[in-house]
Chain A
Amino acid sequence: MSEQRVIVVGGGLAGLAASVRIAEAGLPVDLFSMVPVKRSHSVCAQGGINACNEVARQQGYSEYEHFDETIYGGDFLADQGPVLEMANWAPKIIDLLDRMGVPFNRTHEGFRDLRLFGGSLFKRTHFAGATTGQQLLYALDEQTRRYTAEGKVTQYTFWEFLYPIVENERCVGIVAQDMRTMQIRAFRGAAVVMATGGNGLIFGKSTNSVICTGGAASRCYQAGAKYGNPEMIQVHPTAIPGADKCRLMSESARGEGGRVWVPKNVGDTRRPTDIPENERYYILEERYPKYKNLVPRDIATREIFDVCVNEGMGIDGSNQVYLDLTHRDPDYLTEKLGGILDIYEKFVGENPRFTPMRIFPAVHYSMGGLWTTYTPGDYNPDSPLPAHKSGNPIPIDSNPGHGLTIGAPNNMMTSITGLYAFGEVNFAYHGATRLGANALLSCIFDGLCNGQSVVNYVRNEAPTVDTINQSVYDNAVKSEQDKHDAILATSREPSEASPEYNPYQIGIEMGDIMNAQSTVVKTGAGLTKCLDKLAELRERYKKVRLADGAMWTNQSLSYTRSVGDMLILAEAIAKAGLLREESRGSHYRTDFPDRDDDKFWKTSVATYNTSTQLSDIEFVEVKKGLVQSRPRTYGKTDDAKDTAKTPEPATAS
């Protein structure tokens, strides 16, 4: 009998960290990715990775404060144990990445440099130029390559995950497809780790990579895995709208004096530099005379959205506003913002030193994801503590095991036994909105810490998958092959010119309605409209027609299949948004503008109903916290001082 193997799906930071940890513990890993892992979406992260550090510590910061900030930032929606554990591990994770050779920026003396980031008064963000995500991903890619060379990791590159295989209520493998040969086959695995990232493509153009469809998560959801807080989607206020995607424009542009405006006269076609000062509407300065352009992220996002979508005042009637730096000295701008201004120039072809940038909010990150469980650690105060004040004694040290029981087999396991979710694809760490520079941390933390849980599950609890009847796997392959062949067959049906059944057109319409009704500003009426539209798209999708009948490297087929999966997840996102009748973090309902802890200090848990093919949503109490809930006052009242004091520094993302 050969040894038990672990399957990891996805080769971003979470998947690679898990692969390295599990392989190191002695279990062979089969790593599946739709792209060479070095090209995973983690490369896009720019700003940095948060962790307590010695300099901040000696000024009164602590891992505990990082934990407190993260809970507060997430508007108290996250279960708190895992977040405490993550914050406590953070400095050790930085050390490890440092040993792996990540070229972190250095101080004169040679220590790791730090930058200020949103949500904290302390410098606690480590960075490597403006491509921190890329550098961290490369370091883990390198360690994975080492284990691959040693035969401990087997990489299946250009393989797409199709479905988990569940037998006797345990996940025992996956079905996957080679995207080149189109071969569909089953793989046995004693445990399966999903590390497949976010779902930005559901919203059409986002800041995400083209592979971030959420398709893999949706397939697990359809197989019975629960999905937590689907409605919690982070929208970044300043992105560069492109014809193909939206690219981030760092908030440091506002920090360095950037002014947000639109022409007062709707339909003014003059060049922005020709529009006189008194014919410009400085949105944030007029609406927020105190904080002006430095209002926090969520406010900026909502106001820009409001001016364009509700008032129709966007530039040329489009969903765009000006972010104007042209009043600043070009040399000063190059010194402070050179890197990000170059990105704008490269992709837009205009020099923002002389022409105002055109920006709009864009979907950026999914706090929600596959619902996961865990075993709490040993720290359990009698009652939740009030907000932590910097410099005060910390109630608990940063040793491992206080927030999570390390190695407990159920840590970050989905509702399907043996099926795990690590990184952005789970819902565990960021609550209702994510703090900048915490995403890279949560991904790597999951892999390193909870990789041990996978190892323990496989060693102590998992069924011996080699003895499972081959028919289980054959049936799973047949089911996927049938679905695949049915889509492929539509390419041979008589041509119907109508774009109604074109998968790309359906995808565009899904993105449009989701973006308009289920992101920045939501209303009951809008979400109902969104659900109606999704129902129409699902009907049309049943008659979808493929334009490519090739049996080799058929990208259209892969995309078409994922459109069906995205529609299912989209429905869960919109429905949970409709049922959550409050405003919390990134979820803002104009008809319910306040947080309602009595009714909704709860996780929305979606279950796919196979008979209605729709989501059933229940609200489940968030576990008793380690810290007390308090109003998240960022920008909502005049006492948002701590946010105003810390505008996002250069190249924050």
Chain B
Amino acid sequence: MTTATAHQPTSDKPKAVPGRSVIFKIKRCDGPGKPFRWESFKVPTEPGSNVISCLKWIAANPTTTDGKQTTPVVWDSGCLEEVCGACTMVINGRVRQSCSCLIDDYAPREGDTVTLEPMSKFPVIRDLWVDRERMFNALERVKGWVPIDGTYNLGAGPQESPEHQQMRYALSECMTCGCCLEACPQFLKEEDPKNWDTAFIGAQAISQARYFNEHETGARLKGDRMDVLTGPGGVSDCGNAQNCVKVCPKHIPLTESIGAVGRSATVHAIKKFFLGH
């Protein structure tokens, strides 16, 4: 469990006006290759409103502030508890999960505006829903699994110190949301899967590779993982902007992971040079 929360003590927040309406300005797109357009909706709030509840209200009342009938906004969501990663979008210019985005914080006064945009580093499917297949592909590329012998009963796994478990647990909370990639200047939108093998892979997969390398059995595939991460688009493409760690909603030590994998990469390269494999 991550403990830090961004919330200030209650008393420091601007007091939200009860019963107010706020404006949702939403960047919309009907599908791949279709133009973007902006639509605004006036949404009544209730105590505890978040972006999800407002999008649900719009779905039931799809009329813009111009009085135009439109379609419900399409967006991706799942658990609404900030553990599945689905509902990530760009809100007032910053990438985050929309379920934990409270309207009282973002638009405390009557008529305040909340701007919603799809993430820009992934192809838009429709409206706010983007295709993050590339992130799952990256997990496959770095062999993001522990190579066990099968599901038969072969006893327990390796013992582990609580300190090491805590370190791995911090990495294991990655929910593949893509915030780190959206904020990264080196990670660029790449629609053609053919280019995924050479474009910068980004903090998410690098940190996950570290996670599996840190498991006793998982480390058996470390060489394969390092082959990928020392190749084109690997760890050396990181520009050290450190945006990733600032936007990670789970406070995963991403820059630490990049540093650790970078050091392993050096060792890996030297070994390869001398041993030829």
Interface flag for B198 (CB, 8 Å) = no
Is B10's CB under 8 angstroms from A355's CB? yes
Tell me whether A487 is interfacial, beta carbon within 8 Å.
no
Contact in complex: A142, B136 (CB < 8 Å): no
Q: Are B80 and A210 in contact (CB under 8 A)?
A: yes
* Stretch in A407-415, A458-466, A535-543, A549-557 touching the partner: A549-557
A32 at the interface (CB under 8 A from B): no
For residue A243, which residue of chain B has the nearest CB? Answer: B53
> Taking the nearest CB of chain A, how far is it from the CB of B165, in angstroms?
4
Contact pick for B150, options A24, A210, A553, CB 8 Å: A24
Contact A348 B136 (CB under 8 A): no
Q: Is the CB of B79 within 8 A of A243?
A: no
Chain A's interface size range is 35 or more
Cβ of A422 under 8 Å from chain B: no
Of B49, B84, B175, which contacts A243 at CB under 8 A? Answer: B49
- Answer whether A110 and B159 are a contact pair too, CB < 8 Å, given A345-B5, A552-B30: yes
> A139: nearest residue on chain B (CB-CB)?
B146
Residues of A within 8 A of B79 (CB): 39, 41, 43-44, 209
Q: Is B85 an interface residue (CB 8 A)?
A: yes
In the complex, whether A266 has a CB less than 8 A from a CB of chain B is no
Chain B: interface size category = 35 or more
A128 touches B169 (CB 8 A): yes
Known A-B contacts: A38-B136, A550-B126. Give 17 more (CB < 8 A): A24-B151, A36-B132, A36-B176, A39-B78, A43-B79, A44-B79, A99-B148, A105-B162, A105-B169, A129-B1, A129-B173, A142-B139, A145-B144, A209-B80, A339-B1, A349-B7, A548-B72
A330 to B: closest C-beta gap in Å: 11
State A495–B56 Cα separation when bound (angstroms).
Answer: 21
Once the chains are docked, how many angstroms separate the CA of A106 from the CA of B168? Answer: 12
User: Interface on A for B, CB 8 Å cutoff?
Assistant: 20-21, 24, 35-36, 38-41, 43-44, 92, 95-96, 98-101, 103-113, 128-131, 134-135, 138-139, 142-143, 145-146, 148-149, 157, 180, 209-211, 241-245, 247, 338-339, 342-343, 345-351, 354-355, 448, 495, 499, 502, 504-505, 508, 547-550, 552-553, 555-556, 651
| Distance to closest chain B CB from A50 (angstroms) | 17
Nearest to B167 among chain A residues (CB) is: A103
Q: How far is the CA of A349 from the CA of B6 in the complex (A)?
A: 10
Among A96, A111, A553, A555, contact of B159 (Cβ-Cβ < 8 Å):
A111
Most A C-beta atoms less than 10 A away, residue of B5, B79, B82, B86: B79
Question: Does B172 contact A135, Cβ atoms closer than 8 Å?
Answer: yes
Q: Which residues of B contact A (CB under 8 A)?
A: 1-3, 5, 7, 9-10, 13, 30-31, 46-50, 52-53, 56, 59-60, 62, 69, 71-72, 74, 77-86, 99-100, 102, 104-105, 125-126, 129, 132-133, 136, 139-140, 143-148, 150-151, 153-157, 159-162, 164-165, 168-169, 172-173, 175-176, 212, 215, 217-218
> A363 to B83, alpha carbons, bound, how many Å?
19
- On whether the beta carbons of B1 and A338 are closer than 8 Å, the reply is yes
Option from A99, A243, A247, A549 in Cβ contact (under 8 Å) with B217: A99
Which has the most chain A C-beta neighbours within 10 Å: B49, B105, B154, B172?
B172
- Highest count of chain A CB atoms <10 Å: which of B59, B99, B145: B145
Q: How far is the CA of A104 from the CA of B166 in the complex (A)?
A: 9
| Bound-state Cα–Cα, A241 to B133, Å | 33
Contacts of B85 in A (CB 8 A): 38-39
**A441 shortest CB reach to chain B, Å:** 15
Which of chain B's residues have a CB closer than 8 A to the CB of A20?
Answer: 151
A106-B80 contact given A342-B3, A504-B59, A547-B71, CB 8 Å threshold: no
Please name the residue on chain A nearest to B51 by beta carbon: A244
Tell me the smallest distance from the CB of A407 to a CB of chain B, in Å.
13
Separation of A519 and B129 alpha carbons in the complex (Å): 34
Q: Which residues of B contact A548 (CB under 8 A)?
A: 62, 71-72
Contacts of A210 in B (CB 8 A): 77-78, 80
Name the residue on A nearest B132 (C-beta): A36
Contact A101 B215 (CB under 8 A): yes
**Are the C-beta atoms of A95 and B155 separated by less than 8 Å?**
yes
- Asked if A180 and B157 make an inter-chain contact with CB atoms under 8 angstroms apart, the answer reads no
Given contacts A95-B153, A99-B156, contact A143 B81 (CB under 8 A): no
Q: How far is the CB of B136 from chain A (nearest CB, A)?
A: 6
Asked if A39 contacts B86 (CB within 8 A), the reply is: yes
- In the complex, what distance in Å separates the CA atom of A111 from the CA atom of B30? 53
Cβ-defined contact, B148 with A100, below 8 A: yes
In contact, B83 and A43 (Cβ under 8 angstroms): yes
